[in-house]
Structure 1
């Protein structure tokens, strides 16, 4: 099967789109499960998740209440398919890069961070905890927190790389879509996840700072995995709870 796209999720999305065009999944039929697709294509669940969201964003598939992902289109044409699925970087790839770069940035910052910068980080963590998670002030505090650590390295190139990675959150359509989904599911910066990073920096312990930053960002990956299930599972749980309530009410009436 012909593989297109520079990024892995793009190549997988293109292969699935090709399979749809070739008739493996007809319009209206349910796609194979995420785990099955990950095994078939030899990639991770995050890669399949990014490919599924890219396909959904361009109308190839749709999520149905508590049921799964279904094919909605059959043909786009080769060039249209390649253009449609080119969404640049996804949230999982971005966060993986952040684990690499920001983990090392935190380790380097632990050596040279100043008392003033530590005080600024303390204030930003307090700000994250003082507002509702969806408040723009919390997101801005989170952004400034990570950039302050990058600046504390004293290396302008590192700060520029970290700033660029943050810009991708909004400049990449796929990445922005995934973080927007996560925000709708209540995934927002949490103050308690940032405090261990500050304490490791205050102790001027590079190893502890690296570990704390990586643990925090791996938590972001876990949150994204849970929140980007195309809302199918959450709707399924809500509908199941509603059905349970309905049955309970009927049973209560019958026993009165």
Structure 2
């Protein structure tokens, strides 16, 4: 019988202790993706904390894409482990993310428009290869992060704008952060792949306005992440 769900000590923020206990519970119990966690009331009773503390912990796990809370249907593991990112790092990223997404929309919408005007056959080949790579990653249970990176890099290259490409390189780390945040949302990888295909179709057809609109829709989907609706103040 696992001891992971033993009552809490008082020296650490309670919801962070809940996170630690849940991680141990999943590991010791051999739980896997798709398995259901105990109901919040049961967790609260076994851990000796309020349901509010349990709920705070579940929200942090949901923000990080580690669990999926189904309305009226319980909380399910998305991955085989609960390797939780430090909350302080999440707070920092939440502060940066709106500016990064704003910059991405401005830059990448223009890049897609230019790509539709200037693309060469080699550019289309690189974009298709990136989508194939992303599809393979998703089929193998991944998020498609590398394929996503390759696709956006190929669109940037297809625009043949040295200065815009330099701007993109200057925020590459922040873009990578926003990419990971988006693709770990439930059901997001397949949706992003389909949106990439729409961008490619417009670029290939040399339709600049359509390419720009498709990229704008995509980046606005990227912006729809659980992290931005999370209020860190509630958890401190």
TM-score by length of 1: 0.48
Separation of aligned partners in 2, 1:157 and 1:89: 27
Per-residue Cα deviation, 1:75-117 (whole angstroms, up to 9, x for no partner): xxxxxxxxxx876952232112111110011111111101111
The 1:168/1:67 distance shift into structure 2, 3 A limit, reads closer
Cα RMSD for the two superposed structures:
3.7
Separation of aligned partners in 2, 1:118 and 1:147: 12
Aligned: 1:192 with 2:194: yes
Separation of aligned partners in 2, 1:119 and 1:135: 23
Separation of aligned partners in 2, 1:184 and 1:210: 24
The 1:87/1:146 distance shift into structure 2, 3 A limit, reads closer
Aligned: 1:220 with 2:235: no
Per-residue Cα deviation, 1:167-223 (whole angstroms, up to 9, x for no partner): 21457xxx69x828x62656446311100100100111110110010011111112x
The 1:92/1:113 distance shift into structure 2, 3 A limit, reads same
The 1:95/1:63 distance shift into structure 2, 3 A limit, reads farther
Aligned counterpart, 1:183: 184
Q: Give the number of the structure whose alpha-carbon radius of gyration is greater.
A: 1
Separation of aligned partners in 2, 1:121 and 1:215: 18
Separation of aligned partners in 2, 1:204 and 1:129: 24
Aligned counterpart, 1:143: 149
The 1:146/1:230 distance shift into structure 2, 3 A limit, reads same
Contact 1:98/1:165 (8 A) holds in 2: no
Aligned counterpart, 2:111: 105
TM-score by length of 2: 0.52
The 1:221/1:87 distance shift into structure 2, 3 A limit, reads closer
The 1:220/1:67 distance shift into structure 2, 3 A limit, reads same
**Gaps in structure 1 of 5+ consecutive residues:** 1-26, 29-61, 70-84, 233-256
Task: Note the 1:47-196 alignment, pairs <5 A.
Answer: 64-65=54-55, 90-132=96-138, 135=142, 138-169=144-175, 179=181, 183=184, 185=186, 187-188=188-189, 190-196=192-198
**Gaps in structure 2 of 5+ consecutive residues:** 1-12, 15-51, 60-90
Aligned counterpart, 2:203: 201
Q: Give, in angstroms, the shift of residue 165 of structure 1.
A: 2.7
Per-residue Cα deviation, 1:146-180 (whole angstroms, up to 9, x for no partner): 11111112111111212233321457xxx69x828
The 1:202/1:63 distance shift into structure 2, 3 A limit, reads farther
SS at the partner of 2:160? coil
The 1:228/1:113 distance shift into structure 2, 3 A limit, reads same
